[in-house]
Amino acid sequence: MAPIASVEAMLMHLLIVSMCGAIGCALRLVARDVLMRNGAQPWWAVLVINLFGALLMGAVAGSARSIEEQAGPMLVAAVTGVLAGWTTYSAFSMDVVQLWLRGQRASALTLWAATLCGAPLLALAGGAAMAAYTGAST
């Protein structure tokens, strides 16, 4: 993404990312509630949300140049804001610690490994898929 040219543009960029981050947080809360109502443990819900967010962020990164060229840098900022609000490293960290302290070491290690290995791999997969779809080089 190109540097922001003016203070006004920077403030607009900040406002868009902030508002979209709030939307992402609200979506995460709803998704976590839906997953838990359907029987998922809270930490599984966070894992699903974070991995899905990593896949989407990779897809955005893989197509960011074409999105920016076609729709403008504010769309990239908006999508980035939503996904930053959607994913949650702090909830992931807290869940790992709580599971560990409750003696659920296997669950803690599963969540830790699946997130730290799965998220980057899914981000790469999402980026490669979008780059292939849009014809962009990675």
> Could you report the per-residue pLDDT of 92-125, keeping only the tens digit for each?
887 888 889 989 999 999 999 999 999 999 989 9
- Residue 70 parent element (H or E): helix 42-71
**Tell me, what's the pLDDT at 90?**
73
Q: What is the pTM of this model?
A: 0.71
**Tell me, what's the pLDDT at 71?**
67
3-7, 34-38, 50-54 — most confident range? 34-38
pLDDT class of 81 with cuts at 50, 70, 90: confident
Residue 93 to residue 102: CA distance in whole angstroms: 14
Residue 31 predicted with pLDDT over 90: yes
Q: Which long-range contacts (CB under 8 A, 24 or more apart) does 12-17 make?
A: 12/74, 13/73, 13/74, 13/77, 16/74, 16/77, 16/78, 16/81, 17/77, 17/78, 17/80, 17/81, 17/84
Q: What mean pLDDT is predicted for residues 62-86? A: 75
> Could you report the per-residue pLDDT of 4-21, keeping only the tens digit for each?
678 888 888 889 989 999
Residue 70 predicted with pLDDT over 60: yes
**Tell me, what's the pLDDT at 36?**
93
Domain boundaries, the chain: 7-134
**Tell me, what's the pLDDT at 131?**
83
